[in-house]
Every structure is written in structure tokens, then in C-alpha cells.
């Protein structure tokens, strides 16, 4: 279990969210066909990656908003993560070399098969990022250690709000790297033609 200065942790999460937003805007330069293209069977397209994030965000945002809007303001200076929260964070967070711990998304969090409207998917992701940004800012006055949020993989497990926020940002970074790798392959393929 790690102990954080609460405001420093939330500030870092806000900075990481801003970086995710600016990195996402690059995908708008790709065509709908490129955004919907799967590199190989069984692999997600860029649009499907962001749709997976949209599905995940919608679940968490609903849970979090329901909890923090009712929570009283507190004046806490530190945040102590839970051991399960640290374990989940370590599994989801990309390593410094860009490698990730392989895992499959639960069926309920997978995008539906078929062609998506990729620009709409990207716009919805950015809107949800704005909401997440607001949640993180609003959390500065809440007990992010005492508020418990159901974990999307299993409703019986609840993580501290601080651990959930860490998880969501790391999850975004993980899938942003995945989408960037696909975009690099698309750019390379376009250059060779």
C-alpha cells in the first residue's frame, strides 16, 4: 500500500488526463476506414479500442458520480491506496518500455462487432474525459479513501475512489498505446504505397 499526498496525486491524474486528451486528438486525422480497420482477425480497430474505453467510462462515471455527489466534503491531506488497488494498477499500467500485462476484457466491456462511426466514438471519449477531469477536480474535497466504487470486472469487489481513478487513467494510457501502435502501422502502410 502506497501513501500519497492527496492533492499531488490528483494533480498528477489531471496532468495525465490532459496528455491523454491531446494524444487522442491526433486520431482525427485518420479516415473512417483507417479507424475501423483491424490489423488482423480477433484484434480491435482504433475505433473499437476507444469504444471499449467509452463503455468502461460510462460504467465507472455513473458509479462515481452517484457516490461523490452525496459525499460530504473532507479536509484530508493524504491518501493511502489499498493492496488490491495497487495490484490492479500494477497489472493495468503500461511498463516504461511500453509493454503490458496481457489480459482479456470481460464480454460486457467489449465493443459490439460491426462498423462504428469512429469520429463519434472519439468525440464521446473526449466528452467522457472532460467528465473524468471534472470528477478528479471535484474529488479534491472528498474522502477518496473512504468512498468505495464497484470494480467493473466484478461487482462484489469495491475499490477506493482514489484507486479507481488511478486505474481509469492507467487503463486509458494502456489502450492509447495500443491505438498508437495501430496508427503507426497505418502510417507505415500508407508510406509504402
* Per-residue confidence (pLDDT) for residue 23, from 0 to 100: 96
Per residue in 79-138, pLDDT (tens digit) is: 999 999 999 899 888 888 777 777 776 676 777 766 789 999 999 999 999 999 999 999
What's the pLDDT tens digit per position in 160-180?
Answer: 999 999 999 999 999 999 999
* 148 band by pLDDT with thresholds 50, 70 and 90: very high
Q: Is the pLDDT of residue 188 over 70?
A: no
Residue 190 has a pLDDT of 58
The domains found in the chain, sorted by start residue, are 3-192 (1.20.120.450)
Radius of gyration of the chain (CA): 17
| pLDDT attached to residue 4 | 93
pLDDT tens, residue by residue, 21-53: 999 999 999 999 999 988 888 888 999 999 999
Give the pLDDT score at 120.
96
Percent of the chain past pLDDT 90, that is, above it, reads 68
pLDDT value at position 119? 95
Residue 185 has pLDDT above 90, yes or no: no
Amino acid at each position: 500500500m502506497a501513501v500519497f499526498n492527496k492533492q499531488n496525486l490528483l494533480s498528477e491524474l489531471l496532468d495525465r488526463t490532459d496528455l491523454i486528451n491531446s494524444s487522442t486528438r491526433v486520431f482525427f486525422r485518420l479516415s473512417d476506414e483507417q479507424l475501423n480497420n483491424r490489423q488482423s482477425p480477433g484484434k480491435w480497430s482504433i475505433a473499437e479500442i476507444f469504444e471499449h474505453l467509452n463503455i468502461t467510462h460510462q460504467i465507472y462515471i455513473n458509479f462515481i458520480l452517484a457516490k461523490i455527489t452525496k459525499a460530504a466534503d473532507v479536509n484530508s491531506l493524504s491518501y493511502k491506496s489499498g493492496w488490491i488497488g495497487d495490484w490492479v494498477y500494477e497489472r493495468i499500467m503500461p511498463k516504461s518500455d511500453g509493454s503490458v500485462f496481457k489480459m482479456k476484457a470481460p464480454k460486457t466491456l467489449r465493443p459490439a462487432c460491426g462498423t462504428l462511426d469512429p469520429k463519434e466514438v472519439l468525440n464521446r471519449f473526449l466528452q467522457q474525459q472532460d467528465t473524468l477531469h471534472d470528477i478528479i477536480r471535484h474529488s479534491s474535497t472528498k474522502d477518496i479513501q473512504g468512498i468505495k466504487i464497484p470494480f467493473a470486472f466484478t461487482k462484489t469487489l469495491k475499490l477506493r475512489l482514489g484507486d479507481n481513478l488511478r486505474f481509469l487513467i492507467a487503463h486509458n494510457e494502456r489502450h492509447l498505446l495500443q491505438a498508437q501502435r495501430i496508427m503507426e502501422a497505418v502510417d507505415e502502410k500508407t508510406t509504402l504505397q
